[in-house]
């Protein structure tokens, strides 16, 4: 079984912010994989289904970004899923808008949601799909930046990266991480 987590913040006010790229990718995956994210438990909204022979849970933590590890660790423990079968999709300011990067593991960097997940599950050895949200053009508080909406001129690139990230996860599930990295990194 694979658990695919799209990180974001619940609520209409955060719906189109930079920090909600993980939610956006999870929503698109829900459509592509025909897995409805319509159940709630353990501080998350989720749906389950299959991709080929692989059981899949699509999960959106409802804990707000900085506490994402609570939900993720509960799902891993409840379903007895190893962190190596975890895929986390999230925004990354160190990647340009419109670009994505897939990694088999790594440090959480400045991302508080990823810091919380690595702390709560006790490892950084899980797959991540990083979706570029870009850096601010001028000096501003990082929290304000990631909670800001995208500019109109960025939307084509953002929509392309959401599409690519969802396709990359499908490729990853069907053909493995090496194939997905070769095609999308």
What pLDDT, on the 0 to 100 scale, is given for residue 65? 93
Length of the chain, in residues = 185
Tokens 């939307």 map to which residue? 155
Asked if residue 69 lies in contact with residue 116, where contact means CB atoms within 8 angstroms, the answer is yes
pLDDT-based confidence at 146, cuts 50/70/90? Answer: confident
Domains held by the chain: number: 1
Could you please report the per-residue DSSP string of 18-70? GGGHHHHHHHHHHHHHT----EEETTEEEEEEEETTEEEEEEEE-S-GGGHHH
What pLDDT, on the 0 to 100 scale, is given for residue 108? 87
State the residue range of the domain holding 37: 2-184
Say which residue, 162 or 107, is predicted with more confidence.
162
Tokens 């920090």 map to which residue? 19
Would residue 19 show up in a list of annotated catalytic residues for this protein? yes
Give the CATH number, domain containing residue 32: 3.40.50.1470
Q: What digits encode the pLDDT tens for the residues 9-48?
A: 999 999 999 999 999 999 999 999 999 999 999 999 999 9
Say which residue, 107 or 4, is predicted with more confidence.
4
What pLDDT, on the 0 to 100 scale, is given for residue 100? 97
Q: What digits encode the pLDDT tens for the residues 42-101?
A: 999 999 999 988 999 999 999 999 999 999 999 999 999 999 999 999 999 999 999 999
pLDDT-based confidence at 139, cuts 50/70/90? Answer: confident
Q: Which of 19, 99, 130, 171 is catalytic?
A: 19
The Cα–Cα gap between 85 and 6 comes to 14
CB atoms within 10 A of CB 125: 14
Judged against a pLDDT cut of 80, whether residue 138 lies above it is answered with no
């Amino acid at each position: 079984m694979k658990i695919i987590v799209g990180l974001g913040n619940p609520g209409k006010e955060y719906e189109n912010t930079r920090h909600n790229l993980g939610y956006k990718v999870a929503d698109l995956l829900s459509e592509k994989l025909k897995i409805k994210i319509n159940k709630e438990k353990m501080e998350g909204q989720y749906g389950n289904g299959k991709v080929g022979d692989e059981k899949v849970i699509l999960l959106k933590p409802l804990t707000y970004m900085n506490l994402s590890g609570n939900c993720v660790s509960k799902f891993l423990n409840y379903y007895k899923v190893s962190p190596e079968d975890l895929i986390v999709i999230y925004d990354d300011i160190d990647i340009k808008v419109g670009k994505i990067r897939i990694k088999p593991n790594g440090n959480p960097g400045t991302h508080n949601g990823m810091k919380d997940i690595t702390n709560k599950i006790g490892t950084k050895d899980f797959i991540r799909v990083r979706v570029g949200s870009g850096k601010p053009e001028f000096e501003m508080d990082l929290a304000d930046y990631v909670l800001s909406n995208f500019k109109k001129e960025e939307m084509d690139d953002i929509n392309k990266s959401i599409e690519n990230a969802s396709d990359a996860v499908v490729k990853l599930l069907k053909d493995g991480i090496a194939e997905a990295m070769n095609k999308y990194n």
